Chains A and B, each alone.
Chain A
Amino acid sequence: DAEITQSPRHKITETGRQVTLACHQTWNHNNMFWYRQDLGHGLRLIHYSYGVQDTNKGEVSDGYSVSRSNTEDLPLTLESAASSQTSVYFCASSESSASLETQYFGPGTRLLVL
């Protein structure tokens, strides 16, 4: 079955370190998204990609970067982790067709920055 996976599921790091969160989907979807989930804010879009070599900034992109070198993967990098980036991170993907517009979510990565 097609799926979307994230790794690691839990991560503890220190302020100032670079951290990369992996997202891998086997749906062959063109569109991929990174969100963070914080109490009182719901899900906020960090970055998104509509295809290989395409990346775009979302609502809360400062301090984060992504790259899309193939269809399956969209890794999220925190350049220099800050305590404000402690959150739960979700990756999602969707097909490009307007009739298949549902987003499919990964299980999430819980990140703690000390």
Chain B
Amino acid sequence: GNSVTQMEGPVTLSEEAFLTINCTYTATGYPSLFWYVQYPGEGLQLLLKATKADDKGSNKGFEATYRKETTSFHLEKGSVQVSDSAVYFCALRRTGNQFYFGTGTSLTVIP
């Protein structure tokens, strides 16, 4: 079946630290992969996506590379800011329009 596993949180970092949030997936064929971000009290917003192997999605300093050989889509940012504090969800989309979400990783960035 289709599923997404992402690292357990919560994650607490100091401002300007390097961020990695691990995400691995299980799917048949070639899914599209996504990272969504949820700020407190809001709905999810698309952060970045990649639709095929070796694609790199990037946005707002965040990056993730679609690695088919390791079935991974790890989220990285070189220097986090307090405003990056949020919950991050990894997700995949297979055929049809259904998404499969991970459980979310809470990030807190302290000044």
Contacts and interface: CB of A to CB of B under 8 A. Distances in A.
Given A42-B103, A96-B97, A107 B43 contact: yes
B77 interface: no
Contacts of A60: none
Interface of B: 32, 34, 36, 41-46, 49, 89, 93, 97-99, 101-104
Given A31-B97, A42-B101, A48-B97, 5 more contacts: A44-B101, A90-B43, A103-B44, A103-B99, A107-B42
A42 B104 contact: yes
B61 to A, nearest CB: 20
A42 B43 contact: no
19 contacts: A33-B99, A41-B103, A42-B101, A42-B102, A42-B104, A43-B89, A43-B104, A44-B101, A45-B99, A90-B43, A90-B44, A94-B97, A96-B97, A101-B97, A104-B46, A105-B36, A105-B44, A107-B41, A107-B42
Interface residues of A, number: 25
B12 to A, nearest CB: 18
Nearest to B43: A105
Interface in A72-106: 90, 92, 94, 96, 101-106
B49 to A, nearest CB: 7
A35 B34 CA distance: 17
A71 B44 CA distance: 22
Interface of A: 4, 31, 33, 35, 40-45, 48, 50, 58, 90, 92, 94, 96, 101-108
Nearest to A90: B43
A48 B42 CA distance: 21
**Which of B36, B45, B99 has the most A CB atoms < 10 Å from its CB?**
B99
Contacts of B103: 40-42
**Which of A35, A48, A96, A101 has the most B CB atoms < 10 Å from its CB?**
A101
A42 B103 CA distance: 4
A102 B97 CA distance: 9
